[in-house]
Structures are given as C-alpha cells and as structure tokens.
C-alpha cells in the first residue's frame, strides 16, 4: 500500500494527505450527542424530522452508524464513548454519562433506549446508566435479546437460546 502511494504521489498520496488534514480540522464531536460531524451540533441533532422525545444510548459512533443502517430508529442519540470496563480501567468519569443525565433532566425526553452491546461490559454499563437515570421522568428500555433474524436453533449458543426461551412472547 505504501509503495502504491509512493508510485502515485501526485494523483493519490498528496490528495490523501490534504483530505486527511481537512477532515482532521473540520470533523468534530457533537457537543450534544457525541456523534462525529462537520457541523456542531451534528446533522442528526439539528434534523427537525427526528423524534426529540426518544433517545438511544450507544457505546460509540460505529454503533450509532449501525442503528442508522437499520433505518428503524427515528429519535436522537447519545454516544457514551465507551463502556465501563474493570479490565481496561475505564471508570464512569471517562464516559459521557453526566451529559446524558443533564439532557434527561432538561426535560422533553420521554424514553431512553439503552442500545448497548449484549456483552458483559455493555450490560454492566447499561445497569450503571440505568442507576444514574433513576428518579428522572424518563422510561428506560433496552434492545430485545434473542434469536437473530435468520438464526437456526441448532447453531445458536446455549446462552442465546436460553435467553430467547425465557423472554418468549405471546404469538
């Protein structure tokens, strides 16, 4: 890759360098939700067509993009910037939890969806965030856990199958 860039110094390497510089200067973290964008607040926070009463709490911008790809969520986001992790030494202060509490306290938000990963760290963080939001007038929900779409029972891990069974729904 490096040799290819050197071969195409003028047509590829210098434009790439210029673009990287421009992106580094123009893209910043949205002061409201933590998304990356060239404008601040970001285009999601300022989009009048989105439902401002519902907030999805995600771990990072990659998860926000994943939610956007799913095209089902029309509310706003709050990016935590990571998950609590004893192993990686991530403490609650390192995450954007205080600003989440502030947003909920300001009013107008009715539901907070904890759209965190179904991992140990993700679920630990979900519990911590839930505790931090206790007493505030918001409804807390979490993503459903169970059999993924297209999933075949025979190939599922026991944990997921057990969870899907425990959380079974009326037909």
CA 116 to chain centre: 7
- Reported as type and span, the H/E element at residue 141 is strand 139-142
Distance in Å, CB of 118 to its own copies, minimum: 5
Q: Does 137 bind its own copies (CB under 8 A)?
A: no
* Closest CB to its own copies among residues 101, 161: 161
Q: Does 55 bind its own copies (CB under 8 A)?
A: no
Q: Does 25 bind its own copies (CB under 8 A)?
A: no
Rounded-to-integer distance, Cα 79 and Cα 114, Å: 11
Q: What are phi and psi of 167, to 5 degrees?
A: -95, 25
Q: Does 132 bind its own copies (CB under 8 A)?
A: no
**Residues in 67-106 that interact with its own copies by CB under 8 A:** 67, 69-73
Name the nearest CA neighbour of 96 among 141, 129, 137, 134.
Answer: 129
Which residues in this chain contact its own copies in the complex, by CB under 8 A? Answer: 58-60, 62-63, 65-67, 69-73, 113-119, 122, 126, 130, 139-154, 156-171
């Amino acid at each position: 890759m490096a040799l290819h860039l050197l071969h195409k110094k003028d047509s590829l390497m210098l434009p790439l360098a210029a673009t990287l510089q421009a992106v580094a200067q123009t893209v910043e973290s949205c002061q409201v939700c933590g998304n990356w964008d060239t404008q601040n607040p970001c285009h999601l926070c300022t989009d009048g067509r989105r439902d401002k009463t519902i907030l999805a709490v995600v771990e990072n911008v990659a998860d926000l993009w994943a939610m956007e790809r799913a095209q089902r969520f029309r509310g706003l986001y709050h990016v935590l910037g990571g998950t609590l992790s004893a192993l990686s030494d991530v403490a609650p202060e390192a995450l954007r939890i205080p600003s989440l509490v502030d947003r909920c306290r300001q009013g107008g938000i009715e539901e907070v969806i904890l759209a965190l990963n179904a991992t140990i760290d993700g679920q630990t963080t979900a519990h911590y965030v839930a505790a931090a939001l206790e007493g505030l007038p918001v409804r807390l929900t979490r993503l459903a856990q169970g059999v993924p779409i297209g999933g075949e029972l025979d190939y599922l891990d026991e944990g997921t199958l057990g969870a899907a069974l425990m959380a079974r729904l009326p037909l």
